[in-house]
Amino acid sequence: MKITLDNGETLAYEVRQGGTCNLVLLHGNMAASDQWDLLMEHLDPRYTVYAVDLRGYGKSTYNNPIQSIKDFSKDLKLFTDELGLKSFHLMGWSNGGGVAMQFAADYPDRVEKLILLASMSTRGYPIYDPDGERVQTKEQIVLDTGLNMMLEAQRKKNKQFFKTAMDQILYSRNQPEENRYEKYLENAMEQRNILDVADAANRFNISRVSNGVVDGNGEIGRIKAPTLVLWGKEDLITSEQMTHEILNDMKDHGIEVTLSILPAGHSMFIDDLEGVLREVDQFLSSGNE
């Protein structure tokens, strides 16, 4: 399914019909809504679940380049308006966690509960130069060797490059079933905003402290939603430090936040689906008895 927004972008999305409890899912980088397939198939039927391809990912358009994570937040506002979702639970994975936090800060009355799965920090996702220094500009990011290797692999439709990379850092513990993996690889090769998103994530900072690139804007203080942070102790992409930055920044602003650590890597659906389902269901069900 697709929805054309007032800003000229068209977002593709999937729906798993269920009950009156609405849950919106935001994927991470090098991904799309397909990566939520296992979760959508197994979540309790009382949830109606929406998984969207963000701008520049999957089957969604990329007519206007994003300048910041806030652009994704604005898209999500228009998207949920079109669906008639006035309030809902929101779950973001990896970079999608940053989008989820931004949305919860921009539109606090829309988010009932917030779930951050292996999420980037409240202070962004850092990019470092060969000397270990955090890059300061998009011009520096354009020179990044790893990002340019991905862009070249996309141009050459080199699926094996992406599979090797994913095997090493994303699916280092377990691999998806072959038919699912094929879809995930296609998603990585379809992404059209790699450099723009890397720059936006590097500059993202809703805390009240500097992240080494920009000063925090303090927008985290507008988040009202109780928050569950899920992190895998074998995650090779999102660090423990980033996870604790989320916890500390939220606690400093009086946000009700809970941490759950699972025996998993960055792709928790593959490594510990049962654990993710349990933690998500318990969190969303709490207070509703």
* Mean pLDDT along residues 249-268: 97
pLDDT digits (tens, 9 = 90+) for 66-108: 999 999 999 999 999 999 999 999 999 999 999 999 999 999 9
What is the C-alpha to C-alpha distance for residues 139 and 128, in angstroms, rounded to an integer? 13
- Report which residue type is found at 215: D
* Mean pLDDT along residues 238-262: 98
∠ Cα 179 182 184 (to 5°): 115
* Mean pLDDT along residues 129-147: 93
Helix (H, G, I), strand (E, B) or coil at 243: helix
Domain that includes residue 152, residue range: 2-285
Q: What one-character DSSP code corresponds to residue 20?
A: S
Give me the pLDDT at residue 288, please.
61
All residues at 6 or more sequence positions from 81 whose CB lies less than 8 Å from its CB, including other chains: none
Enter the pTM of the model.
0.97
pLDDT digits (tens, 9 = 90+) for 186-199: 999 999 999 999 99
End-to-end CA distance of the chain: 34
What's the domain count of the chain?
1
Cross-strand partners of 229: 116, 259
Q: State residue 211 phi and psi, 5-degree precision.
A: -105, 10
Judge whether residue 289 has pLDDT over 60.
no
Cross-strand partners of 92: 26, 116
Instruction: Output the domain CATH number for residue 48.
Output: 3.40.50.1820
For 264, counting Cβ atoms within 10 Å of its Cβ (0-12 exposed, 13-18 middle, 19+ buried), the class is buried
* Mean pLDDT along residues 248-254: 97
- Both structure tokens of 279: 């933690």
